[in-house]
Structure 1
Amino acid sequence: MLTLQIIIGSVRQGRGGASVAEWFTDIAAKDARFQTEVVDLAALNLPIMDEPNHPRLQQYTHEHTKRFSEIIARGDAYVFVTTEYNYAIPGALKNALDYLGPEWAGKPMCAVAYGGISGAARAVEDLRRVAVALKMIPLVQGVVCPLYAQQRDDEGRFHGNPTQIEAAHDMLNTLADFGAVLKARRLAAL
């Protein structure tokens, strides 16, 4: 079984990412190939990167970094739930990515993107570039939720349409395939 971490990238008050992540997590949790874990950057409350050593060394000095490292190291695959701020990923997500190095490496990633008319497509491209630099394996599959607020009910819960649900399952299939191969490779290297 693969540990699939669903990382909520926005920490803004009133953010829509929590409801989109909840929707996707419900789908992923029903897939027997995965153990799901939600990683909410708002709950972690990481300060601006404050480690004195380069992340590749994994010589962390702060408890918040050590805790974050342990969390991310458990993941076998990542789904980033992200919106778009000024054509890029949210600053909190970039900060979290920059905190670590080897913990991300050799693992597949996809995105569930939500936002306005563009559905955060530019943020996903930004995220993929950062993922490559961190040696993650960005996959093409993903879910796009343009004008996502129109898909929220009166309680603020997001409800995906049939196309988004199909895309979520396609993404999970690909993450399972790549995740299994890459996990076996990591284990063989130990």
Structure 2
Amino acid sequence: MTKIAIITGSTRPGRNNVGVAEWVLAQAQQRGDADYELVDIADFNLPLLDEAMPAAYQQYSNDHTKAWSAKIAEFDGFVFIAGEYNHTVVPALSNALSYLNAEWANKAAGIVGYGSAFGVRAVEHLRGILSELQIAHVQKTGMFSLFTDFENFSTFAPTELQAESVAPMLDQLVVWTRALEAVRAGALVGASA
């Protein structure tokens, strides 16, 4: 079955990100169209990028990078939970993405953004990073406001209107994820020829 990771985008103590990720996971698991798993970047204890070689070479020297690589390689697609911080992507997510290259390539992603302005600036900046990593990001996006979708700016409690923004993103993501399986298979055939 198609495997899709829902990846947290923050490592801060007391972060809102995990609550959003857990809610998205619960919504996704009800669909039955893929195998969804929560992947918390905090569990991998990734310091600021500390590999000597560029990720494209896959010559990882650190155990944390090897563990991160093995986990991400398991998946066919991703949902990134992108909180907005200083009008951009949370640094921990950008750092986690930068550790790898081939593990991301020719796979699909959806994005769930949140922040004071629905996380739109983080989502747009994340799209540029994903494009460079050859991750095909779908057009539909889950969008949540810190003012209306969080109680006391900390407990995730989405309004019905915003909660409905996630299903169209997942619909597109599943289709694109399956389509890119053929792309990856073709890339493997081309590499062995």
TM-score interval for Structure 1 and Structure 2 normalised by the shorter chain: over 0.9
CA shift digits 1:90-148 (9 cap, x unpaired) = 111111111000111111112111111x1110000000000011111111111110125
**Percent identity of equivalent pairs:** 37
Structural mapping, 1:105-144, within 5 Å? 105-116=105-116, 118-144=117-143
1:185 is matched with 183
**Matched letter for residue 142 of structure 1:** T
Asked if the contact 1:23–1:160 (Cα under 8 Å) also holds between the matched residues in 2, the reply is: no
1:35 is matched with 35
Structure 1 segments unaligned to the other structure (5+ residues): none
Distance in 2, Cα, partners of 1:14 & 1:53: 33
TM-score (norm 2): 0.91
**Matched letter for residue 26 of structure 1:** A
Distance in 2, Cα, partners of 1:23 & 1:49: 29
2:164 is matched with 166
Alpha-carbon shift at residue 36 of structure 1 (Å): 1.0
Structural mapping, 1:57-68, within 5 Å? 57-68=57-68
Distance in 1, Cα, partners of 2:3 & 2:75: 5
Asked if the contact 1:112–1:144 (Cα under 8 Å) also holds between the matched residues in 2, the reply is: yes
Alpha-carbon shift at residue 70 of structure 1 (Å): 0.8
**Matched letter for residue 140 of structure 1:** Q
Alpha-carbon shift at residue 188 of structure 1 (Å): 3.9
**Matched letter for residue 104 of structure 2:** W
Distance in 1, Cα, partners of 2:3 & 2:27: 15
Distance in 1, Cα, partners of 2:173 & 2:77: 7
Distance in 2, Cα, partners of 1:31 & 1:85: 31
Q: CA RMSD in A?
A: 1.6
Alpha-carbon shift at residue 15 of structure 1 (Å): 0.9
Judged with a 3 Å threshold, the aligned counterparts in structure 2 of structure 1 residues 72 and 10 are, in CA distance, closer, same or farther, namely same
**Matched letter for residue 63 of structure 2:** E
Asked if the contact 1:8–1:81 (Cα under 8 Å) also holds between the matched residues in 2, the reply is: yes
Alpha-carbon shift at residue 157 of structure 1 (Å): 4.5
Judged with a 3 Å threshold, the aligned counterparts in structure 2 of structure 1 residues 153 and 88 are, in CA distance, closer, same or farther, namely closer
CA shift digits 1:65-111 (9 cap, x unpaired) = 11100111111111110111111101111111110001111111121
Asked if the contact 1:80–1:110 (Cα under 8 Å) also holds between the matched residues in 2, the reply is: yes
Structure 2 segments unaligned to the other structure (5+ residues): 189-193
- Aligned partner of residue 83 in structure 1, secondary structure: strand
1:176 is matched with 174
TM-score (norm 1): 0.92
Between stretches 179-188 and 54-63, larger displacement belongs to: 179-188
